Amino acid sequence: MSEHLTQDHAAPAFAIVYPGQPGDAPATPKQVPHKGGAVNPSVAALRAKFGPVIGRHDVVWNETTVFVQRDKVAEVCAWLQSDPAQSYEYLSDVTAVEYRDAVRPIEVVWHLRSIKFRRFLRLKTELPKAGKTPLEVPSVWGVWKGADWLERECYDMFGIKFTGHPDLRRILMWEQYKEGFPLRKDFPMRGRFSRSEQLKNALSANPEARYSMEELSIADAFEDLPHDMRKRIGGGERTGE
Amino acid sequence: MAATKTIEVALSTTGLTADGKPMRVPLGAEGLMSAPPGIEPELQGEHMLINIGPQHPATHGVLRLVLELDGETVVRCIPHVGYLHCGFEKIGEYRQYNQIIPWTDREDYLNSMGNNCAYVLGAERLFGIEITERCKVLRVIAMELSRIISHLVWLGTTCIDIGAFTPFLWSFQERENVYKLLEGWTGARLTTSGTRVGGMIADVPDGWVEGLRGFLDRFPKTLDQVDRMLTKNAIWVGRTVGLGVMSPEEALNYGLSGPMLRASGVAYDVRKDFPYLDYETYDFDVPVGTNGDVYDRFLVRQEELRQSVRILEQALKRLPDGPVNVDDPRIILPPKHKATSEMESMIHHFKLVMEGPRPPIGETYVPIESPKGEKGYYFVSDGTAKPVRWRIRPPSYVNLSAIPKMVEGHLLSDVIAINASIDIVMGEIDR
């Protein structure tokens, strides 16, 4: 350790308290069973609190998965984050899984982590592909701000709408991308359009239209645009990406 | 465990205030507004739109930031990503587990060996494989070497962004030494593809351990030089202290991880909290900052470099003999001389290459502490040789999503410093 770094400083205003002594760190899991094993205690707490909202749970490779009713996800997450006995203060990931099976529902997956209790919980909700259920789940942006881009990516790749998200736009693909949602199983790996069509779209793109209308409104930059672009935007053409 | 560190700023350079911060000449809107009317044109209220990137050296790749400026002060920042999107996750659904490994090199290309190891850790959990002791230690060595590379590149490029050139040369020189080691091991500098499900591509060659030992002897001296050059440097301190501050609660809520989170004072390190590869048996500290600004992120990364050296020294001491790959013909290819001389081995080889190993039905999310933060690989298997879903949890993607929050209210030139402090790799963000 370098000399200028001293250890005498007071503890930071906020520090994660490790649940045990430093020597008690959990060992690297060995010989993890495929199915079964210890269930995350949060599952029982969730059942006691929310009852029928919580669906089945299973433990695979030592990780607990809980199914939650679709429209109650945000409430469940808010409780898991704020309840001091659960304290899932960290959202690792939001993503979705579509199976190769044509009828098996799409699953939206939330990976939650309690740093305080060293717990990991996977929440899932099922969105049937056929039928009237829309591909919509409540956004958890209000609980964890880190969900912002993760949900946008999930929307971009799977077309799942997160209701309540403040700015649900495409993020990795550009805004005028018309071929659909790339990680869906019915989306071919080479894209939905033919090569010639993709080339045609690329060549006809307007390279000046790189600002969204929102961005153009920032600085009255509209007046500085080339004449033909102003005309197109005035005619209702959407710009930006 | 979490150690709190204080930096005593005793600066002797002129142009400083009493509390050690460099004096700033008021610039931009504030200065103009305070001038009596009629002397300066009335610019108040007119906002400017500034576009940085996607091709700009200070954006570390193809990041594009659209900034709304009031004078020189950032009012709003709108980031655009996706220029490097290659669809790795889509391609992975059409590949066998071992065939995905080369893609992991190319996402976070500064940490390619670390990604290789992280990927196979997840895949091995999915297959239910317990790897050999030698392989574990070799992977720890690979991961810590990658951390050193990544932090050195971060250090060098951030110095360039802020205006120091010399540490860039020092850090890139040391980085080259690590690359020489990795090249001797895997045959490639950046795109290593050094692991396989159940083991490594190869054991380390003869004399490699001595090479690493020599590097570990020399490297701390470079760190000391960088330390002497930057830590108390008035310009460096003035350009980094108090910038892009994230409070601990905010940092957790925004999902930051890695040095970004620890600089804010949250001692969350996957190596300590959810250990893998027996990290809990290594003796190392997790540096934690107090202010959560750009300067603390620099200090945390600098200290992590030293801790990586500590881990590497311990790993070299305990490196056991024995096989690297697991002894399982359903997972590991037979040796080449057997595959060309024995019928059974040839059939095994053929079936493994053509059909690929099949994991049981299941799913797993395995996080590791990458240099950028918590990197996780999420696998879903339906029992076939190709994953149903292969998901990368990119740490710098989530870290970057907090940039509008961090830069607002700062000057335009500070945006560059804050952006550099996030340590983004666009290959990982866009994937």
* Residue range B177-232, pLDDT digits in tens: 999 999 999 988 889 998 999 889 888 999 999 999 999 999 999 999 888 888 88
A84: exposed, middle or buried (C-beta count within 10 Å: 0-12, 13-18, 19+)?
exposed
Asked if the Cβ–Cβ distance from B253 to A11 is below 8 Å, we say: no
CA distances from B268 to A233, B118, B143, B300, B369 (A): 48, 18, 18, 13, 10
Same domain, A57 and A120: yes
Same domain, A102 and A210: no
Superfamily grouping for domain B88-327+359-430? Cytochrome-c3 Hydrogenase, chain B (1.10.645.10)
Same domain, A164 and A229: no
- The CA distance from A18 to B114, in Å, is 26
Mutate to test the interface with A, among B8, B47, B66 (most CBs of A within 10 A): B66
pLDDT of residue B158 exceeding 80: yes
Facing B255 at nearest CB: one of A5, A8, A144: A144
Same domain, A55 and A98: yes
pTM, two decimals, is 0.84
Nearest CA in chain B to A61: B364
pLDDT of residue A235: 66
Residue B218 sits at the chain A interface (C-beta within 8 Å):
no
Amino acid at A162: F
Higher-pLDDT residue of B40, A197: A197
Q: Where are the domains of chain B?
A: 88-327+359-430
Same domain, A138 and A197: no
A163 in any annotated domain = yes
User: What are residue B411's DSSP bridge partners?
Assistant: B73
A26 in any annotated domain = no
Smallest Cα–Cα separation from A157: which of A99, A95, A100, A212? A95
Facing B266 at nearest CB: one of A16, A99, A221: A16
Same domain, A40 and A136: yes
Per-residue pLDDT of chain A (241 residues; tens, 9 = 90+): 343 333 333 334 344 444 333 444 455 666 777 887 788 888 889 989 888 889 888 988 888 999 999 889 999 999 999 988 888 889 999 999 999 888 889 999 999 988 888 888 999 999 988 877 788 999 999 999 999 999 999 999 999 999 988 888 888 887 777 888 999 988 988 888 888 888 887 777 665 556 666 666 665 666 666 676 677 666 665 554 3
Asked if the Cβ–Cβ distance from A144 to B253 is below 8 Å, we say: yes
A84 in any annotated domain = yes
Tens-digit pLDDT profile for residues B388-431: 999 999 999 999 999 999 998 889 888 999 999 998 899 899 88
Asked if the Cβ–Cβ distance from B278 to A28 is below 8 Å, we say: yes
Same domain, A51 and A111: yes
Asked if the Cβ–Cβ distance from A12 to B288 is below 8 Å, we say: yes
Residue B303 sits at the chain A interface (C-beta within 8 Å):
yes
Asked if the Cβ–Cβ distance from A5 to B360 is below 8 Å, we say: no
Residue B43 sits at the chain A interface (C-beta within 8 Å):
no
A190 in any annotated domain = yes
Asked if the Cβ–Cβ distance from A18 to B1 is below 8 Å, we say: yes
A18 in any annotated domain = no
8-state DSSP, A51: G
Judge whether B358 and B117 are in contact, CB under 8 Å: no
Same domain, A152 and A98: yes
CA distances from A122 to A42, A68, A95 (A): 11, 10, 11
Asked if the Cβ–Cβ distance from A173 to B85 is below 8 Å, we say: yes
Residue A147's domain comprises 34-172
8-state DSSP, B294: H
